[in-house]
Amino acid sequence: MFNLPISDIHLAAAASDKKNAIEQVAKALENAGYAKSGYAQGMLNRETQAPTFLGNGIAIPHGTTETRDQVLKTGFAVFQFPDGIDWGDNQTAYIVIGIAAQSNEHLELLRQLTHIISDEHTADAMAKANTPEALKQLLMGERQTQPVKLDDSMVTVNASVDNINTLKIQNIINLQNAQAVSTDFITQVLTQTPSYLGQGIWLSDSPIGNIQNAIAIATVKNPFNFQDNPVNALITLSYANYQIESFLLKINDLLKNKEVNLISDDGNVNSLIGLLRSENSHEENGSSDTSTSGITQDFTILNPHGLHTRPSTQLVTTIKQFESTITVSNLDGTATPVNGRSLMKIVSLGAKCGHRLRIHAEGTDAQKAIVTIGEAINSGLGEEIA
């Protein structure tokens, strides 16, 4: 965990534009003794190479490798801009975290930051914090993260219904009783058509009104049809942060292995919860490893300074060229696969020079994707390699 003195947090700041905001942050780093005056130009240069906007209103400007000699010691300058700063590409930054790092230690710092700010509600709370202490508490992850809500109060089995709207309402009631969603969420779910995942399983969620991670599930006693597809179960998700991704991966595993009948056929609430909480359905049920589905290949990071924001941006840009679903995992880190289209997730891997990345692609252009991504990694992702 990095150190963050209260004196490095600046609330209610204002800037005329992105350049002015970065200059203010750079000056604060200089005044705090973290960097020399020349570091400011390095931070501005970095933005021309790869924008440092992470998402959820957070930007993390920092210098180039060429201006690392301007860093005196590792430190941060955290600025809150309540009116927002136009960071380009229709992105607005409300929290700007300037980073001065002497070596590759900044990768660990970036990983810490991305895990904290991947929670949309935490990011919003940071933008509205009215004391440095409150903002620090949020930034340092001192606010307790609530576990994903999935227990017997969230599950309805063998419901005697014949329409999907009744299933929606049942799941919404459970989510509302758990205080996991707002009225915005309820309105969105009630008015939107659920997504069909396949094999009789439907999914409903909302981009707004997610208060905490929670999963509501309703299975039916007698399957019926909706939009020419069978309905065996409806899953409704309140997606407050990245924690719920393990559940989505679990559902994906069951679909791949054609085992989702284990959801709809199990009339025991506790065993159903146990099934969905387990981490590796394909292993538990004797199926083959997920690497047999799609294409998987490992590559070594050759960038001297690892996957900081510039090469990470290049990797994400390369991945976004393809329609296939692509995940990336750091075999020398946690080895947990992350969405290859998310800059925040790629940076959070904390991949350093020599670390092995596992790329998994699944889709019509998977082979081409693997080849192109491999070429990009081996060529340095826009940077010179040794």
Q: Which two tokens stand for residue 209?
A: 């009104």
Bridge partners (DSSP) of residue 216 are: 236
Between strands 195-198 and 201-204, the pairing is antiparallel
Bridge partners (DSSP) of residue 79 are: 10, 96
Closest CA to 370 of 303, 299, 287: 299
Residue 213 burial class via C-beta count within 10 angstroms: exposed 0-12, middle 13-18, buried 19 and up:
buried
- Residue 131 has φ and ψ, to the nearest 5°, of -140, 150
Q: What whole-number distance in Å separates Cα of residue 43 and Cα of residue 30?
A: 12
Which of the residues are catalytic? 62, 308
What's the number of CA atoms in the CB half-sphere (13 Å) around residue 365? 10
Q: What whole-number distance in Å separates Cα of residue 85 and Cα of residue 335?
A: 35
DSSP 3-state assignment of 214?
strand
Helix (H) or strand (E) holding 367: helix 366-378
Q: Which two tokens stand for residue 161?
A: 């219904």
Q: What whole-number distance in Å separates Cα of residue 22 and Cα of residue 86?
A: 12
DSSP 3-state assignment of 98?
strand
Do 240 and 266 contact (CB within 8 A), yes or no?
no
Between strands 229-238 and 214-226, the pairing is antiparallel
Strands of the sheet containing 58-59, edge to edge, are 9-10, 75-86, 92-100, 58-59, 53-55
Q: Give Cα separations from 246 to 115, 148, 331 (angstroms).
A: 15, 10, 18
Distance from CA of residue 263 to its chain's centroid? 26
- How many helices (DSSP H) and strands (DSSP E) are in the chain? 14, 14
